[in-house]
Chain A
Amino acid sequence: MPANRFNAFTDYGIGIGLRIPHYRHILEKKPVVDWFEIISENFMVEGGRPLEILDQILEQYRVVQHGVSMYFGSAEPLNREHLRKLKRLVRRTKTPWLSDHLCWGSVDGRYTHDLLPMPYTFAAAKVAAQKIRQARDFLEVPIAVENVSSYAEFHVSEMTEWEFLTEVVERADCGILLDVNNIYVSSFNHGFDPFKYLDHIPMERVAQMHIAGHSRYRKYILDTHDHAVIEPVWKLYAHAARLAGRTATLLEWDAHIPSFEEVHDEALKANQFISQIEAAAA
């Protein structure tokens, strides 16, 4: 399960996001990191320092691309300019797989730059699956779609989020980027059992996992990626790892970013859960 066709049969371990505050440390100290995840849009530029940094990183490290604006769930067709620039970047990084979110975020050519939740309907699943297939055919790289965190649910939804995710990925025949923090955040905001979510999705399609921190408010949790991972999320991660096996895992820390060492140490905590699971299975 860990190395599967949705992650190009790779066996990546624990990675962290490539972030500007850490550039100098990484390029000067050359720490041992299994892989970095980059936000594709930050490097879909024509020239300059971003690409210079990326090329230096690519000399030393493995990189996987993660996007934030493909909007598989938007009613509009895929943006051709976006796809062309993305493909150019895919060739540059040689990313073994590419991920983006199961969400929408643009209407009539206007972009919200947010990851807006979809109504969980069969019609929406069909549109999203079609767009995922189109993207995969154009980009010629396996695609994994990520479950987003959300703060709203729609009256028109016909199924649960996990049923919707399953419907989309099976129609699209694509992989899943399983974000366990997003499941936790959404489970709190919408009142469902996060372990039930994990028990009901096709784990054989999980190409990669995300873990992250969040911000807890009185009435809801906001997915801010600006804290360490809390214990309940680690427990969810352990359950997911038990079901999916050792899977490429990425810690997202995108705001109030501490030192490289702190972020990397936090990510490497995932190893203790994987070790426990593998020891129990032996």
Chain B
Amino acid sequence: MNHYLVFLKKELVEHARTYKLLIMLVVFTIFGITNPLIAKLTPELLASFMPEGMSMTIPEPTALDSWAQFFKNTQQMGMIVLVLVFSGVLSSEISRGTLINLLTKGLSRQAVILAKYSAMLLVWSLSILLSAALTWVYTMYLFPKDHLGVGYLLFAISCMWLFGAFLLALLLSSATLVQGNYGSLLLTGLMVVLLMALNIIPSIKEYNPVSVASKTMELAAGKIDPSSVYTAVEITAVASLGLIALAVIVFRKKRL
């Protein structure tokens, strides 16, 4: 059997049995259910905390508020959980030495990187799909009168997915570059912070992968045209592929 498929199977078994898959699915299920709920309940919660005799006009929540919750949660907590869950996926195998055994049996190093990335992408896709589907169904139930442009919404969700894929590529290539479990996490964090800092410069914003995630809300609401993030989307996709290629090249020569 092909090394890639053999190792992909091993990775998926690992994610399932070491509860990585479970954690991801549970966290994103919770997001999916609470997104519309929080949007619906926020005005009532605010009203109940309001002191006696004081009144404030809070606009009636809409389906858009529910999706705002979705994009906010996925972009912040979701990405943090994603990176933390998969932070040790390559580095722990290197530091523990579990890979050496298989590599001496002729397992191709390229297959290791590609299979690991594919397995992570699969879990990530499943998680965001589940969360989006739950948000969708629940939003329709709680806000039956509101209608959003399905095309815009799907494009925004795809952008969010792409940013997750970019983070995973960053994480995997970091693990080939530095030693230890925390090293790769640190490097990934630093890179993200750097990209965010760069976003302050307006002329770079258009090309920055961070825009892909940060503009999702406006995209979903139809406030900006999808074409305004095309450049960033292309750059993010190319950068992800480039990072994986880098990971393969570095890992091939890495001393284990």
Does A pair with B?
A: no
